[in-house]
Amino acid sequence: MVLQKSALDIQKITEEFFEDTKLLGIVTTVKDYRFCWHLNNMLGMDFRVNHEIEIQLNRKKRTYFFSVYEYKEPASTLVHYLYNNLWDGEYLLPEFKHLDFLWLMKNDTVTDEYLNHLISLLKSIPDVQLVTELNNEKIKNKEYLIF
């Protein structure tokens, strides 16, 4: 009996993970817990840190931990994930060093109207300096966002 090794197809996993997703980049001067407090209170959401999907990366002989907050919309399959892009001087996505957070919407269709409304609401939050939609194709290290 010959056992075959099967390699993970990272590209296929990444494509499936990002299918029908929207991604925002956010610049703000507040810490993650304070930003989530604003989202929860001003936008009526319920973001909670989810330690089970925390991103761990090994770089420079160290392990870095990037927290991920999660909010599931009631009566919908849409799930929002808020990634911290910076931890202890290291970036989750180094190509976006200017961004503090990455907001991923997944598991349901996000219309342009919904997305534009959300961007407008985010810009109304104190200390939010920039909100921009990110094109998935421009992200060099997409696999870092997969949990």
Single-letter residue type at 110: V
- Predicted confidence at residue 120, as pLDDT, reads 96
Cα–Cα dist 70/36, whole Å = 10
Domain annotation covers residue 35? yes
Domain annotation covers residue 147? no
Count of domains for the chain: 1
Q: Are strands 128-134 and 55-59 parallel, antiparallel or unpaired?
A: unpaired
| Model confidence pLDDT, tens digit, residues 10-52 | 677 767 766 778 999 999 999 999 999 999 999 999 999 999 9
- Predicted confidence at residue 137, as pLDDT, reads 74
- Predicted confidence at residue 1, as pLDDT, reads 57
Cα–Cα dist 122/139, whole Å = 22
Q: Answer for the pair 139, 93: CB distance below 8 angstroms, yes or no.
A: yes
Q: What is the span of the domain harbouring residue 90?
A: 18-137
- Predicted confidence at residue 82, as pLDDT, reads 97
- Please tell me the least confidently modeled range out of 93-102, 115-124, 133-142: 133-142
pLDDT class of 6 with cuts at 50, 70, 90 = low
Cα–Cα dist 123/100, whole Å = 14
State residue 56 phi and psi, 5-degree precision: -115, 125
Domain annotation covers residue 5? no
Domain annotation covers residue 118? yes
Domain annotation covers residue 11? no
Q: What is the pTM of this model?
A: 0.86
